[in-house]
Amino acid sequence: MPNTEMRPDVYKEVVKMTFQRVRRVAGFGAAALVVGLVATGCSGAGAEPDAAPTLDPDAKVTIRVGDMPTEASAANLEAFKKRVAEFEELHPNITVKGEETRFDVSTFNALLVGGTLPTTLVVPRTNIQQLLQNEQVKDLTAFVKDDELLAQQNPVLTEPAQDEEGNTYGIATNAYTMGLVYNRDLYAQAGLDPDAPPTTWDEVRENAIAISKSTGKTGFIIPTTNNGGGWVTTALTYAFGGTMEDVKGDEVTVTADNEGTEQALTFLQGLRWDDDAAGATFLLKYADVLDGLGAGGIGQTVIGADQYNTLVVSRGMDPDDVGIAPIPQEEDGLGALGGGSIAIVNPKATDNETAAAIEWNKFLYLNRYVDEDAAVAYAKANQADDLPVGVPEVPLFDEKRYEEYLGWIEPYLNVPREHFTQYLDSLNTLPIVTEPAVGAQSIYGAIDAVVQQVLTEKGTDIGAALTNASATAQSAIDAAQ
């Protein structure tokens, strides 16, 4: 994802999953292909980890935790503070101090060197491998090797936080896929059926035209700046059957000038210049698109399908207006771009601080999926705070366990999950393709310029523009290696 709200997956193999088995096969050029993210199993073995450290369970420990919501998100901040109080009640010897610090690749090392990096915070999967190679994150292997909860996580989500020997450097906290996110109210105003989202790009285009003509709102648009244009165009490229790079060993070849990307941008070009259905503003950050969706000014886009909370809580969008569907696929489409986040620990943390940080992350992100009391407590607290319960998400554990979790929280569900039926069903069938493994941000930045050109300069030669963008990205990646 773009640097401002980066997201993630970095490993280069194809991991094909079913509910019964995990099978690893050969690399798939530019992207790692994952089928059925809700698979069972545990992560593969690597080198024998060190013996577990000796810890003092009664030691007084203070940990600084990043990713605390800001004052601008009052409901989420209040909920965070309640989680802290609940955790401290369960662990009287641990004090949690929340901080608003979030991962930023441009400041991470300075925070680490300066001693101001929190004890733990969340990073995108696209960055975890570089961080562990630079020894900028704590090796958690000895702390988690016998952890029953973490052993149950989907291995597709945990492997990106491991090195080649199988040592663990982080905890998977969430996963996402890109989806077609649309405004159900604008669909209704345009005479479209909100319960029958488009399954082809032709239908997306037809709906965009209908929305634009009937309501005067933007029928379809994507982010175009801060690497957001390149990120979403990569998702479109996968859906049209293309890839952005080919990785063979240490050799990286940018392939952004492929037929899939050209088709995706031709789709945008037609919406803009032939259909007049792409709105009137074409320099849009990711947050701008979220703002437009939330305010009812955008009918359709492609973004992370995990943005329900952001739209409803932060942007004030009516829950009944949020529609999320699978990203449509051409006949040779590869699947949906997907990724997630990893909680890491400061490499300077003491053993007791490390153990406390792991417990915090398990409490905040994972316990509710495997423990009924934790699930009910979490659901009750969110319901009481008027926060969503039952948001569409990629399960961190297997399908059976996730269905059990939904059963536990059913009395407290306040999210209209029937509005996401097609998307939720697709999680078991639609392949998930990771972001480019090397130099993703360089590719995204180069493609940003092409997306902007397509939307602002009539008659843009897309093929030529992509050839130039590929060369630009290739030079940046070569220089960084």
Q: CA 34 to CA 13: how far, in whole Å? A: 9
- Fold matches, 34-39+58-176+343-411 and 177-337+434-480: yes
Q: Specify the pTM.
A: 0.81
pLDDT tens digits, 56-66: 888 999 999 99
Determine the pLDDT at residue 446.
98
Q: CA 438 to CA 403: how far, in whole Å? A: 35
Give the amino acid at 83: R
Per-residue CA distances from 384 to 79, 351, 366 (Å): 10, 36, 20
Largest CA distance in the chain: 69
Straight-line distance from the first to the last Cα atom of the chain, in angstroms, rounded to the nearest whole number? 21
Give the amino acid at 46: G
One DSSP character per residue, 151-215 reads: HTS-HHHHGGGB-TT--B--EEEEEEEEEEEEEHHHHHHTT--TTS--SSHHHHHHHHHHHHHHH
pLDDT tens digits, 127-146: 898 899 899 999 999 999 99
pLDDT in tens, the chain (481 residues): 554 433 333 222 222 222 222 222 223 333 444 433 333 333 333 344 455 687 888 899 999 999 999 998 888 899 899 999 999 999 999 999 999 999 998 899 999 999 999 999 999 888 898 899 899 999 999 999 999 999 999 887 888 899 989 999 999 999 999 999 999 999 999 999 999 999 999 999 999 999 999 999 999 999 999 999 999 999 999 999 999 999 998 899 999 999 999 999 999 999 999 999 999 999 999 999 999 999 999 999 999 999 999 999 999 999 999 999 999 999 999 999 998 899 999 999 999 999 999 999 999 999 999 999 999 988 998 898 889 999 999 999 988 899 999 999 999 999 999 999 999 999 989 998 988 888 888 999 999 999 999 999 999 999 999 999 999 999 999 998 7
Q: Which CATH superfamily is domain 177-337+434-480 in?
A: Periplasmic binding protein-like II (3.40.190.10)
Q: Which CATH superfamily is domain 34-39+58-176+343-411 in?
A: Periplasmic binding protein-like II (3.40.190.10)
Q: How far is CA 121 from the centre of its chain?
A: 16
For residue 96, list its beta bridge partners. 63
Of 240, 247, 285, the closest CA to residue 265 belongs to 240
Instruction: List the chain domain ranges.
Output: 34-39+58-176+343-411, 177-337+434-480
Give the long-range contacts of residues 378-382, CB within 8 A, separation 24 or more: 378/409, 379/408, 379/409, 379/411, 379/412, 379/413, 380/412, 381/79, 381/82, 381/83, 381/86, 382/79, 382/412
